Amino acid sequence: EDTMRKHYRIAIMGAAGVGKSAIVNQFLYGKFHKDYKKTVEDMHRGEFDMDGTKLTLELLDTAGAYKFPGMRRLAIATSDAFILVYSRENSESFREVTELRDLIHAERETDEVPIVIVANKEDRQTKVCRRELASDPVATESAIANIDWDSTFFTASAKEGINIVAIFVEILKLLSKGRDDL
């Protein structure tokens, strides 16, 4: 069963407005919109064929506001892997990613959870740099340098489609690695 059909749930988490819905929509539909409706949670399903293996991905697009801690805990408990997104324009959203990562480790009672960290809105980086001497992005970069990340890290742009596929390829790599270790 395992060799021919695989089914994974991936939760996309992070602060409101960092581009979680944009990443999901760019990956599944190759589209970018200016506005995505704010729902509490959206489940997307994608069917893929990878070297003859039928792959079903459930993508749980969570709300950033986390008014419902119970829903967040449920998302953490029921997902196989996590994409934690922050915006390069918002250092507060980076802090939220570090908190989410700690929360996932605590809730799952292990550090062996597939997590990919995404710094989104890469396309905006140069503009911010020129205008504001990049106070937030620089703080973000140095924070990354100083944190013991065993998670994989990508910069990305949902708008330009930069590194979006790579994020999911990496997640699948981490998930299959987890299986081999069993």
User: Which residues contact ligand GDP by CB under 6 A?
Assistant: 16-22, 34-36, 64, 120-121, 123-124, 157-159
Tokens of 64: 């950033």
84 binds, among ligand GDP, Mg ion, none (CB under 5 to 8 A by kind): none
Phi first, then psi: what are they for 44, rounded to 5°?
-110, 145
Q: Which residues of 24-49 are buried (b: 16+ CB within 10 A; e: fewer)?
A: bbbbeeeebeeebeeeeebebeeeee
158 binds, among ligand GDP, Mg ion, none (CB under 5 to 8 A by kind): ligand GDP
Of the residues 6, 12, 21, 115, which one makes contact with Mg ion according to CB under 5 A: 21
- In the bound state with ligand GDP, the residue whose beta carbon lies nearer, of 128 and 143, is 128
Shortest Cβ 31–ligand GDP spacing (Å): 11
163 binds, among ligand GDP, Mg ion, none (CB under 5 to 8 A by kind): none
Cβ atoms within 10 Å of 165's Cβ, excluding its own: 12
